[in-house]
Structure 1
Amino acid sequence: MEDKLKKLSTSMDQEISKEKVFTKMDEQHILSRIKQDTKVPTNQPISFIPKLLTAALFLGIIFSSYLFFDNEWISKPNVFIKKETPVSPMLTYKISGEGSVRYSPYLDKGQLNIKLLIKNETSAKLKEPLSYRITFLNEKLVNAVGTKTFLVEPKNLPPLGPNERESITKQFVLTGEVVKEDLINAIQVDTISGTKALNTFVIDAIEIDAQITDKEVAEEKKEEPTQEKEISVGEAKQIFNQNLADLKDTFIKSGEKNNWGVDNPAIYEVAGPDFEPYVTENFSTNVLKKLLPIYYCQCDIGYLPRINQEVRFIVNSFNKNTIEISGIEPASDMKNIGYKWNFRLVKVDNKWKMDRWEETSLEGIDLNLTKDEARKLLTTESQNATFLKEVRLKGTTNYVFSVIGEEYESIVAISSSDTTLTHDYEVLKKE
């Protein structure tokens, strides 16, 4: 405060020295008054002039101060502007990628095989499946391929989970010959989510096969059986999800085609062949045969597994021919008890098929779910869950959440033991 007063005093002094105290008219009035006062007898005291000068000086100071306040304080107000709190940045997905290209020249055409390996480096699951834009940067290569860019949109692949990978292969038949120099730094790949590119890289791993004839290629295929690569955990989950999606789609199409319903239950001998591309004979005999007659009951209880992909979704074992996987189907309002599912898929004639599935009730089993796992079980595409508190109900830990959907909002407690849901937990708590 003291520094501000000093600054104000200094500024006022400067302004007083700059501005005129008396106007021309003031000067004329003062001189005229002085002349009149000179005629006053000498025995009368002359006191008016000092008073007038003092008043004029005071008015000049006030006037100068007004100019100072007008020019300095009003034109440059001492206003503190509140800095806006920066908005927390949205989650940024980190995607890594690499690729390789293999060129196989033939007598009249060439074949370009591009393989991509993509990994989700973040600790969160992607919101949607990825697509890939391949751009050819070399003019000769563009002419041989017939396009500048090509968008690869893998079908039926789920969004990548934390640290999961996916492998994508795309083949192009070339109409012109290219050499290795045409492929160096000539293929760019953009990893896309929605309309946003999450990662861009240029393929630098290039292989060129020796030029061979179609006949030689056919004979090589006969002599050398294809060596199958081991799959990854992420690929195992993708295979399972694809198979389950195919089964659900087949149930729908079979029902529409044959008009299955309560009064017309499905007949295994009629519907069974529709499922042959996706299930083994073992599954068809032991599971499908029992499931089909009751599946089209038009009741609220579903008969197909609804596996949560975020909690305890585990690949127990896998190799190039077998996948063992397990998951949790949490309790719902329609079926207020959770289930644990175990699945087995096998490869038959180079195609993955469901060989076995088993469900076990979670009643009497303690999953010992964490608060975060409980939140994930209650969170879906159409509703969000916000944790409120932890309570004990019948000796079991329950997590209370506010669940908000598009047209509803409720308070629900979920059991950490078996995922059972309780809406009136306050009443139950008093019992």
Structure 2
Amino acid sequence: MMIKERVLVWMLFFLIAGIGTYYILQQIFFKEAMPVESNINASDEINEDMEEEPDTNNENDSSEDEETEDPKEDVKEERLPDGEIQGVVTGLFEGILATFRDLGQEYNWSNRSNPADFDTLKPALLQYASEAFMNGHLKELAGKYYCECDAPLIPYPSMDIRFTVRENTGDKIIASSIEFSNELHGDNGGTIYFTIIKEDGKWVMDGWNHVSPEKEDMQVTWEEYSAYLGANDKVTFLNEMNHNGEKVYVFFDPNFMGLSAVYASSTNSIYDIPIEWLPVEYRKPPYYIKSLEGTWNHETYPGGLISVMHI
């Protein structure tokens, strides 16, 4: 019994020792494996960081793209300086008129015997006019322009006397001028509006519009009207009157050898000029007026003056 008990004790001892050895070895191998596992995790984190870096670069690239796009937007919105607009509008307007005039002379166009060929006009007009304006109003104008008459088919603006910029953006400009009344054209004074646009990268005329004085008071100053008459006329300003609620300019015009008067709202002429409109220093009763340029006799009918002697 003693031998068996010893054998069992030794067997139990070896069993416990084996279990303990296994446990110790397991702990040792587990600790050695830990750094490998942490290295894998660390490398995964590095790889994740490397994958995120292109995103950061993309953000930088997009911000750089946005910065490069801003100047393009600025160029698109760049306005034509106000000081250059009058020259551009005048050049386009005169270019259109010159095209009608020069080609009409070259081909001897006449509405009655030889109507204008719009296909011939079209390529030349495209230098100055938009597609819409050319195929609309200018095409209609081509059928009337060569009528050999005094009809007011086109405006006659005085851009050198008055020119106003109404709207100015990167691709559209609206400006206005005035047209002084002309008896040959049926007293057609008024305000002229011009619209020019950018088409295919260049400025072209997109339309013009005549607004009558009844719809928009021209409010012409004496300085503007005397400039319209011209320095060579040597007109003498005599008086500013209020006639039926409208401003009137009375002046002496040596070209007509007499007195003249116009409405400031329309520049239409007034043909019956009462003697009372003249300053006292130009009146000498009973029927004549002494001006700076000579002696003038009052006509037999009320209003109006005629020259009887010019010194």
State the TM bucket, normalised to the shorter chain. 0.5 to 0.7
Q: 1:246 is matched with which residue?
A: 95
Cα contact 1:403–1:409 (8 A) shared by 2: yes
2:263, 2:149 → 1: CA distance?
Answer: 26
2:115, 2:276 → 1: CA distance?
Answer: 41
1:363, 1:235 → 2: CA distance?
Answer: 31
2:262, 2:160 → 1: CA distance?
Answer: 16
Q: 2:82 is matched with which residue?
A: 233
Q: 2:207 is matched with which residue?
A: 356
Q: Which whole-Å deviations, capped at 9, do the CAs of 1:226-260 have from their partners, x for residues lacking one? A: 94753211101111011112112111111022211
Q: Secondary structure at the match of 2:121?
A: helix
Quick one: structure 1 residues 294 and 234, their matched pair in 2 at CA, closer, same or farther if it must change by over 3 Å?
A: same
Cα contact 1:371–1:399 (8 A) shared by 2: yes
Matched ranges for 1:25-64 at <5 A: none
> What letter corresponds to residue 293 of structure 1 in structure 2?
G
Q: 2:224 is matched with which residue?
A: 373
Cα contact 1:398–1:414 (8 A) shared by 2: yes
1:283 Cα shift?
Answer: 0.4
198, 201, 207: which is aligned to 1:347?
Answer: 198
> What letter corresponds to residue 244 of structure 1 in structure 2?
F
Q: 1:414 is matched with which residue?
A: 262
Cα contact 1:412–1:424 (8 A) shared by 2: no
1:301, 1:402 → 2: CA distance?
Answer: 29
217, 226, 248: which is aligned to 1:398?
Answer: 248
139, 153, 156: which is aligned to 1:306?
Answer: 156
1:311 Cα shift?
Answer: 4.8
Quick one: structure 1 residues 242 and 410, their matched pair in 2 at CA, closer, same or farther if it must change by over 3 Å?
A: farther
1:334, 1:427 → 2: CA distance?
Answer: 27
1:331, 1:277 → 2: CA distance?
Answer: 30
1:249, 1:415 → 2: CA distance?
Answer: 32
Cα contact 1:338–1:363 (8 A) shared by 2: no
Question: Does 2:167 correspond to 1:285?
Answer: no
1:382 Cα shift?
Answer: 5.5
Matched ranges for 1:300-339 at <5 A: 300-309=150-159, 311-335=161-185, 336-339=187-190
1:392 Cα shift?
Answer: 4.0
1:428, 1:266 → 2: CA distance?
Answer: 53
Cα contact 1:265–1:293 (8 A) shared by 2: yes
Q: Secondary structure at the match of 1:309?
A: coil
Quick one: structure 1 residues 418 and 278, their matched pair in 2 at CA, closer, same or farther if it must change by over 3 Å?
A: same
2:90, 2:195 → 1: CA distance?
Answer: 12
Q: Please give the TM-score of this superposition, normalised by the length of structure 2.
A: 0.58
Cα contact 1:262–1:297 (8 A) shared by 2: yes
Matched ranges for 1:101-116 at <5 A: none
> What letter corresponds to residue 234 of structure 1 in structure 2?
G
Q: Which structure features the higher share of strand residues? A: 1
Cα contact 2:86–2:159 (8 A) shared by 1: no
Q: Please give the TM-score of this superposition, normalised by the length of structure 1.
A: 0.43
Matched ranges for 1:5-44 at <5 A: none
Cα contact 1:331–1:339 (8 A) shared by 2: yes
Cα contact 1:233–1:315 (8 A) shared by 2: yes
Q: Which whole-Å deviations, capped at 9, do the CAs of 1:180-223 have from their partners, x for residues lacking one? A: xxxxxxxxxxxxxxxxxxxxxxxxxxxxxxxxxxxxxxxxxxxx
Matched ranges for 1:195-234 at <5 A: 227=75, 229-234=78-83
Question: Does 2:115 correspond to 1:272?
Answer: no
2:176, 2:104 → 1: CA distance?
Answer: 28
Question: Does 2:277 correspond to 1:426?
Answer: no
Quick one: structure 1 residues 369 and 314, their matched pair in 2 at CA, closer, same or farther if it must change by over 3 Å?
A: same
> What letter corresponds to residue 333 of structure 1 in structure 2?
E
Cα contact 2:191–2:216 (8 A) shared by 1: no
2:202, 2:254 → 1: CA distance?
Answer: 41
Between the aligned residues of both structures, percent identity stands at 27
Q: 2:291 is matched with which residue?
A: none
2:257, 2:96 → 1: CA distance?
Answer: 33
Cα contact 2:178–2:218 (8 A) shared by 1: no
Quick one: structure 1 residues 282 and 423, their matched pair in 2 at CA, closer, same or farther if it must change by over 3 Å?
A: same
144, 165, 182: which is aligned to 1:294?
Answer: 144
- Structure with higher Rg: it is 2
Stretches of structure 1 that go unaligned for 5 or more consecutive residues are 1-223
> What letter corresponds to residue 230 of structure 1 in structure 2?
R
Aligned length: 205
Q: Secondary structure at the match of 2:153?
A: coil
Quick one: structure 1 residues 247 and 381, their matched pair in 2 at CA, closer, same or farther if it must change by over 3 Å?
A: farther
Stretches of structure 2 that go unaligned for 5 or more consecutive residues are 1-70, 278-301, 304-311
